[in-house]
A = this chain, B = another copy of it.
């Protein structure tokens, strides 16, 4: 028997998601989350630097895996191909936890403060992908534009996928990218 129940971070995440979904984000306090997990608020802030982050801890992992996939692509691959590899990883990771991802997405979509953090995380992802592309020899501005296009396509696809349980996430991303070409090219 250990002195404390195991996986304090996981318990806090789960408690937060439940409370945010039922009571709303603003209305639930860190103290309530901690209490439901059998902890104090001081301990909450030892596991997560701030309140919103309790829902975003996993997105750093996603970023790392996408960047790793991009780096692993053959050097002669075009930016588009390399980004496709990164998108494959993201789609796979989200599909694994489809249910959790959808619950989380609904909570985030309903709260401005959480939406703000989510947008920021996507922006960070975009920057990370751009940097990785740049290291492969792509110019700074092309890298930034390509990465933002990929993240935008992913974001729009994810949004739709979260509403339509049956949708094929990977296909949606691809469709969005094809769409983009026509839209921007046709003056």
Residues of A at the B interface (CB closer than 8 Å) are 78-81, 115-117, 119-120, 123, 141-142, 144-146, 148-149, 152-153, 155-156, 160, 175-177, 179-181, 183-187
Contact = CB atoms under 8 A, between A and B. Distances in A.
16 contacts: A79-B186, A80-B183, A80-B184, A80-B185, A115-B123, A119-B123, A141-B179, A145-B156, A145-B183, A146-B180, A146-B183, A148-B148, A148-B152, A149-B152, A177-B184, A181-B184
- Main SS at interface, chain A: helix
Contacts of A148: 148, 152, 155-156
State the number of copies, please: 2
Nearest to A142: B179
A79 B155 CA distance: 20
A120 B119 CA distance: 6
A81 B116 contact: no
Contact of A153 (B79, B119, B145, B181): B145
Given A141-B175, A141-B176, 17 more contacts: A80-B183, A80-B184, A80-B187, A115-B120, A120-B120, A141-B156, A141-B160, A142-B179, A145-B176, A146-B180, A148-B155, A149-B184, A152-B152, A177-B184, A180-B180, A181-B181, A185-B185
